[in-house]
Structure 1
Amino acid sequence: MGAVTFETLALGKTADEAFSNAVEDAKHMHGHAGYTGTIAEKSSFTVIPESEHRGRQKLTVARKLIDQADQRIQRKRGPAGAINCSGTETAKRYREQHGLEGKYGDVWLFFGWAAH
C-alpha cells in the first residue's frame, strides 16, 4: 500500500460543501473500497491561506507544497490541502465544463497525498 498525489476541483457554497462534493464524486467514480489514490480517502482538509497563493497559479502552488512535503498536507492519511480558486480562469473553465455557470458557490482546488 503506497501513496500517490491527487488534485481535484469542486464547487460548493462553503469549503466544507465543496469537499463533500469532491469526496462523493471520487467515490462514485473510483468506488468505495479504499486505496483509490483520490480525495475519496480523505476525511478532512486544511485551507491554505490566501496570502500564500494570492496572484499565483493555484495548481503551481499546490504542486510546490506537495513537492516540498509541506507538513499540513504531507500525510496520506492526513488532511488534504484546499485553495479557493474562485475568480480564476481555472474556475471559469471548471464551471463551463461541468455546466455550472450561474450556480452559487466557490470553486476549490483540493490536493495532497492519498493511499493507493
Structure 2
Amino acid sequence: MGTVTFKTLAFGATADEAFTGAVEDSKHRHGHNGYTGTIAEKTTFTVIPESEHKGRQKRIVASELIDEEDQRIQCKRGPAGAINCSGTKAATRYREQHGLEGKHGDVWLFFGWAAH
C-alpha cells in the first residue's frame, strides 16, 4: 500500500456538501474497497485560508502544499485540503461543464494524499 496525490473539483452550497459529493462520486467511479488513491479515502477536510491563496492559481497553491508536505494535509489518513475556487476561470469552466450556471454554491478544489 502506497500513497498518491489527488486534486478534484466539486460544487456545493457549502464546503461540506461539495466534499460529500466529491467523496461519493469518487466511490461510485473507483469502488468502495479502499486504496483508490482518490478523495474517496478521505473523511474530513481542512479549509486553506484565503490569505494563503488570494490572487494565485489554486491548483498551483495545492501543488505547493503537497510538495512542501504541509502538515495540514500530509497524512494519507488525515484531512484533505480545500480551497474555494469561486470567481476563477476554472470554477466558471466547471460550472459550464456541469450545467451549474446560476445555481447557488461554490466550486471547491480538494487535494492531498490518499492511500493507493
Indicate the TM-score class for this superposition, using the shorter chain for normalisation. over 0.9
Aligned to 1:67: 67
Pairing of 1:1-80 with structure 2 (within 5 A): 1-80=1-80
Query: 2:38 and 2:99 mapped to 1: Cα distance?
Result: 23
Does the alignment pair 1:114 with 2:107? Answer: no
Q: CA RMSD in A?
A: 0.5
Query: 1:79 and 1:19 mapped to 2: Cα distance?
Result: 11
2:107 alignment partner AA: V
Does the alignment pair 1:101 with 2:101? Answer: yes
Q: What is the aligned residue count?
A: 116
TM-score with structure 2 length normalisation?
0.99
Query: Deviation string for 1:19-55 (max 9, x for gaps)?
Result: 0010011011101010000000000000000000000
2:28 alignment partner AA: H
Identical columns (%) = 80
The 3-state SS of whatever aligns with 1:76 is coil
Query: 2:115 and 2:104 mapped to 1: Cα distance?
Result: 32
TM-score with structure 1 length normalisation?
0.99
Which runs of 4 or more aligned residues in structure 1 lie more than 2 Å from their structure 2 counterparts after TM superposition? Answer: none
Structure 1 residue 98 displacement after superposition:
1.1
Structure 1 residue 99 displacement after superposition:
1.3
Structure 2: segments with no counterpart, 5+ residues: none
